[in-house]
Copies of this chain bind each other. A is one copy, B any other.
Amino acid sequence: MTTIRDVAKKAGVSVATVSRFLNGSGYVSADAAKAVTEAVEELEYELNPVARSLNTKRSNLIGLILPDITNPFFPELARAVEDVALSYGYTVILCNSDEDPKKEKNYIETLKKKYIAGFIVTSNQLEAPHYANTKLPIVALDRAINEKIPVVSSNNKEGAVLGTNALLERGCQNILFLRGPEALNPANDRYDGFMEAIGQADVNHRIVTCPFHYADSQKIVERELQNDPGIDGIFASSDVSAAGALKAAVLLGRKVPDDLQIVGFDGIAMGEMLSPGLSTVAQDVYKMGAIATRVLIKRIENKPVEESFYEIPVKLVLRGTTRSVE
């Protein structure tokens, strides 16, 4: 392996000059620059990032902490993070937290020792003391950790208004709202949006809390549909719940969208594959991940970050579970 000393020898300069040239730090004359460039070329020198890390206490590693990559919401996010990270020369470490603060903390400690450059955190934990006192750059998704940590999230409330209105405009008179877990910020924002929109309409509605879990949602909706056969619209706080609702509706013989219309929230790929296709409030997950990563890298590189709160617009995607508006 060729080292910086080999390069220095070949170029006839000192290692300090080589290092300065390579890092663009300090003064290097044109002559020296040329000699070093040539030596690097000839020796096919490549800098050893581990050696560098050891004394700069920095690296180009980014930790991506998310609850579970298996949750269909996260792969696209991870993909975005990885794409952007790669384009800036960073490498992504995947950390499934299972929403367990111990696991999160453990990862943070472990990766700190590796001089990790920063973290992107998608966690549902509302309290996160272990993030607060870290000096490391962090960007949060969907959840504010504290004022100093930038947050990227969807415009959840507006999305919920959009989704609710989609059902109202299509004539729903008896709407079931599947509220997400109360511990989740985004779920609460969606709830607020639903309440706002429904408050301005004169229709029946019922609110049920429902985890972002397929089978559970299906069961809950089956029960609700049996209790109240008059339900003609369901707005679910997640696509997975909406898929469960659709399944329940089909099993109970409801005609979707004729007798019952369903709108989900998230915009995961699966929605398109259902029959009928799932109407949903689609988040731009890729964009969220990409922006979060760019902001993180700016912070890592001490470049100015304009804002600390990024709200990504959502988009209503109408497919088969809603009727065309008359």
Partner of A91 from B93, B269, B273 at Cβ < 8 Å: B93
| Residue A53 at the chain B interface, CB threshold 8 Å | yes
* Chain B residues whose C-beta falls within 8 Å of the C-beta of A274 in the assembled complex: 273-275
Expressed in whole angstroms, the Cα–Cα distance for A69 and B274 within the complex equals 21
Expressed in whole angstroms, the Cα–Cα distance for A68 and B69 within the complex equals 13
In the complex, the chain B residue whose C-beta lies closest to that of A68 is B79
| 1/0 contact string of A24-67 vs chain B (CB within 8 Å) | 00000000000000000000001111110110000100001000
B-contacting residues of A (Cβ < 8 Å)?
A: 46-51, 53-54, 59, 64, 68-70, 72, 74-76, 78-79, 82-83, 91-96, 110-111, 113-115, 214, 240, 243-244, 246-247, 250, 269-270, 272-275
* Chain B residues whose C-beta falls within 8 Å of the C-beta of A95 in the assembled complex: 82
B70 adjacent to A79 (CB under 8 Å): yes
A75-B76 contact in complex given A93-B91, A114-B49, A275-B250, C-beta closer than 8 Å: no
* Chain B residues whose C-beta falls within 8 Å of the C-beta of A46 in the assembled complex: 113
* Chain B residues whose C-beta falls within 8 Å of the C-beta of A214 in the assembled complex: 269, 272-273
Among A50, A72, A269, the most chain B Cβ lie within 10 Å of the Cβ of: A50
B96 adjacent to A94 (CB under 8 Å): no
In the complex, the chain B residue whose C-beta lies closest to that of A80 is B70
Copies of this chain, complex-wide, total: 2
A91 adjacent to B79 (CB under 8 Å): no
Partner of A96 from B53, B79, B115 at Cβ < 8 Å: B79
A51-B54 contact in complex given A273-B214, A275-B275, C-beta closer than 8 Å: yes
Expressed in whole angstroms, the Cα–Cα distance for A114 and B46 within the complex equals 12
Expressed in whole angstroms, the Cα–Cα distance for A114 and B61 within the complex equals 10
B70 adjacent to A96 (CB under 8 Å): no
* Chain B residues whose C-beta falls within 8 Å of the C-beta of A78 in the assembled complex: 69, 94
Expressed in whole angstroms, the Cα–Cα distance for A72 and B68 within the complex equals 14
* Chain B residues whose C-beta falls within 8 Å of the C-beta of A54 in the assembled complex: 48, 50-51, 54
Expressed in whole angstroms, the Cα–Cα distance for A75 and B111 within the complex equals 22
Expressed in whole angstroms, the Cα–Cα distance for A94 and B65 within the complex equals 12
* Chain B residues whose C-beta falls within 8 Å of the C-beta of A240 in the assembled complex: 273
Expressed in whole angstroms, the Cα–Cα distance for A243 and B270 within the complex equals 10
Closest-CB distance, A287 to chain B (whole angstroms): 14
Closest-CB distance, A4 to chain B (whole angstroms): 14
A50 adjacent to B48 (CB under 8 Å): no
B94 adjacent to A243 (CB under 8 Å): no
Closest-CB distance, A135 to chain B (whole angstroms): 13
Closest-CB distance, A213 to chain B (whole angstroms): 11
Expressed in whole angstroms, the Cα–Cα distance for A59 and B111 within the complex equals 13
Expressed in whole angstroms, the Cα–Cα distance for A249 and B93 within the complex equals 41
Expressed in whole angstroms, the Cα–Cα distance for A93 and B116 within the complex equals 12
* Chain B residues whose C-beta falls within 8 Å of the C-beta of A82 in the assembled complex: 69, 94-96
* Chain B residues whose C-beta falls within 8 Å of the C-beta of A68 in the assembled complex: 79
Expressed in whole angstroms, the Cα–Cα distance for A273 and B239 within the complex equals 11
